[in-house]
Amino acid sequence: TEVVTETPAAPPADPKLPKISSADRLIFPDSDVTKGDLAAYYAAVAPVMLPWAGDRPVSLVRCPQGRARACFFQKHDAGSFGDMVHQVPIREKDGSTENYLYVDDAAGLVACVQMGSIEFHGWGAANAALEKPDRMVFDLDPDEGLDFADTKKAAEHLKEQLAELGLVSFPLLSGGKGVHVVVPLTPQAEWPAVKDFASRFAQALAQAEPDRFVATMAKAKRKGRIFIDWLRNQRGSTAIMPYSARARAGAPVSAPVSWTELRDTDTAARFTVRDAKTLIDRAGSRALQGWGIANQTLPDL
Ligand code: ATP
Ligand code: MN
Ligand code: MN
């Protein structure tokens, strides 16, 4: 009889992709996912991920020793990532200019993995119009005791309330605990206006249903409630990018779903880095047609 052994996914063979050192290093020890596996995942999903995560400033969660060890957020770099990871100069509050990182191809994603990155967080604005968000995000953070059904209901509620204001929205599984409700925007309004809208909208929901929602950061007020984190919508803030892996148990990834699919989903960590093929197929599926796309601007609130 034939002995079938699991061969680890080979590191990307594409000569245009950067070499992965220590490709056998276990980045997710709990799920046997190596650095090479993670690089292969990003190389595979690059075509569906880059439209959302490319050509905009990103912050990376780097865990050089794997997800169970020290991780840190990184948004600037002096050049150690090599020339496949690019830099965009951004004016800071104090008037100085800082270079932020961005990628625009599979090689850039893989170069970040080579540097120990697991997660890609991004701005809600593209390099082409850094002051004009093309995406508003409501990050729903359920308190410990709540289950995913509550989060789903909350996401649906936001969808309906946004629709009443004429705004189309889409659910993104965070890969962690929650759901992000993503509102595509035509880049027109600037950060202060988008932040103001997001804040008023979240606060109105919390005021209408104070037992269910909270729109302030204070942890103490979150007991048994869902925090509508609207603070992703300020200049310099980031949110997890679609298809980004998460540095969490099980190697989950963030993933777009349709509103109908969300109803049949029972965890925000439904997809993992093992699901590259599924995710690519899904991206071309009828259910996800038009996901994240809408020409719309914010109404007055
Ligand atoms: P979950 O569904 O488990 O909440 P999440 O990605 O929404 O996953 P949050 O902790 O709610 O995780 O964070 C929301 C977003 O805030 C992140 O996606 C990230 O972009 C940003 N963020 C979180 N922590 C930091 C940090 N230390 N530095 C910079 N940005 C952060
Ligand atoms: Mn969250
Ligand atoms: Mn949050």
Of 174, 139, 181, nearest to 159 by C-alpha is: 181
Q: What is the pLDDT of residue 2?
A: 53
Q: Which ligand is nearest to the CA of 239?
A: 1
Q: What residues does ligand 1 touch, defined as CB less than 6 Å away? A: 59, 73, 121, 139, 141, 174, 176-178, 229, 232, 238-240, 268
Q: Any idea which of 14-18, 152-156, 277-281, 289-293 has the lowest mean pLDDT?
A: 14-18
Higher-confidence position of 1 and 264? 264
**Residue showing tokens 């967080």:** 121
Q: Six-digit token pair at 244?
A: 């980004």
Protein residue with its CA nearest to atom 2 in ligand 1: 178
Average confidence (pLDDT) over 210-227: 91
pLDDT at res. 192: 98
* ipTM entry: 0.93
More confident residue, 102 or 12: 102
Give residues whose Cβ lies within 5 Å of ion ligand 2.
139, 141, 178
pTM beyond 0.80:
yes
Q: Which atom of ligand 1 is nearest to the CA of 139?
A: 7
pLDDT exceeds cutoff 70 at 10: no
Render pLDDT for 235-292 as a digit per residue (tens, 0 to 9): 999 999 999 999 999 999 999 999 999 999 999 999 999 999 999 999 999 999 999 9
Tokens (6 digits) for 209: 């249903």
- Region 59-66: what's the mean pLDDT? 96
Give mean pLDDT, residues 70-98. Answer: 94
> How many residues in the chain?
301
Ligand 1, atom 8, lies closest to the CA of: 176
Asked if pLDDT for residue 12 goes beyond 80, the answer is no
Least confident residue range of 76-80, 97-101, 223-227 = 76-80
C-alpha distances in Å from residue 25, one per residue of 35, 57, 110: 6, 28, 15
Mean pLDDT of the residues in the chain = 95
Q: Which two tokens stand for residue 180?
A: 């992000």
Nearest ligand to the C-alpha of residue 174? 1
Q: What is the mean pLDDT of residues 180-205?
A: 98
pLDDT at residue 300, rounded to an integer: 86
- Residue 220's pLDDT is what? 80
